[in-house]
Amino acid sequence: MSTTWDKILLFGDSITQDSFNQQRGFAFSAGLQHEYIRRLDVINRGFSGYTSRQALKILPHVIPSPSTANIRLLVVFLGANDSSLPGAENKQHVPLPEYVSNLEQILKHPSVTAHNPKIVLIAPAPIDEHLVWDDDKTKGRHAVSRKNAVLKQYSEAAVELGDKLGVPVVNLWKAFMAKTGWKAEEWKESEPIVGSLEMPQNEELVRLLSDGLHFNPAGYQLMLGEFLKVVREKIPDLAPENVPLLLPLWNDAAAWEVWDAKHK
């Protein structure tokens, strides 16, 4: 009888899809797999360009049946594309109420609940409009496709949904913006926000974001640290150090005795 390796399934857009990519250096999925090596398998189901609308449509084709795999932890990270501006030339905008509804339907979907997994929701991170606009221009677009103040709204909505449903949330907006020195309590909505074209480019956002939207290694490292912090605080039984190793350590004589007795 083979050993069963339970799963952590990551479900999201290109930021998730790219989080096993080691070409630029550290990336989230690889770092997470290292934390859970010989404990849980990390499965990356990120889909570049997808919005929550598309993610909801494909969900039943992404989540395996409990008879073939057991998902212990589902991580949902969507909203970077939904929050594109209405009328933006990338045609990815999903209105905020629909975004929230789609997220809720994903978290409550029968394909998910069949596994009875623990769930962590990741709220969208901020953007650097200077880099986003540079990228938009290289794609022949005539106006910036995203605004940081709008990302803030989508991130806050994801946090509120998590609070409503009792689902732990990794607040990447708060974590990234804390690095910039931005003070939420001092900011007024009538003022430009850090990361906007109306303000000087912020060095910390440049360090965290490769093109203003996707993450540099520093961004993925921050994401992993915040994720593990939330798991340890909210789901401590799934903290890496609390998940038992599968198969004995090479030099654990007592464990090998138990193994040998079970597999005679």
For the stretch 24-56, pLDDT in tens is 889 999 999 999 999 999 999 999 999 999 999
Q: Which domain holds residue 238?
A: 7-262
pTM of the full structure:
0.95
The tokens for 165 are 């449903």
Residue 1 lies in a domain: no
β-strand partners of 10: 44, 75
Residue 178 lies in a domain: yes
pLDDT, position 2: 60
pLDDT, position 3: 67
List, for residues 118-139, the tens digit of each pLDDT value: 999 999 999 999 999 999 999 9
pLDDT, position 78: 98
Residue 2 lies in a domain: no
List, for residues 175-197, the tens digit of each pLDDT value: 999 999 988 888 888 889 999 99
Q: What is the CATH number of the domain that holds 242?
A: 3.40.50.1110
Number of domains the chain is built from: 1
Residue 250 lies in a domain: yes
Nearest to 130 by CA among 146, 150, 149, 153: 146
Residue 31 lies in a domain: yes
Residue 171 CA to residue 196 CA, distance in Å, equals 20
What is the number of other CB atoms lying within 10 angstroms of the CB of residue 187? 15
What is the number of other CB atoms lying within 10 angstroms of the CB of residue 229? 13
Question: CB-based burial of residue 186 (10 Å sphere; 0-12 exposed, 13-18 middle, 19+ buried)?
Answer: exposed
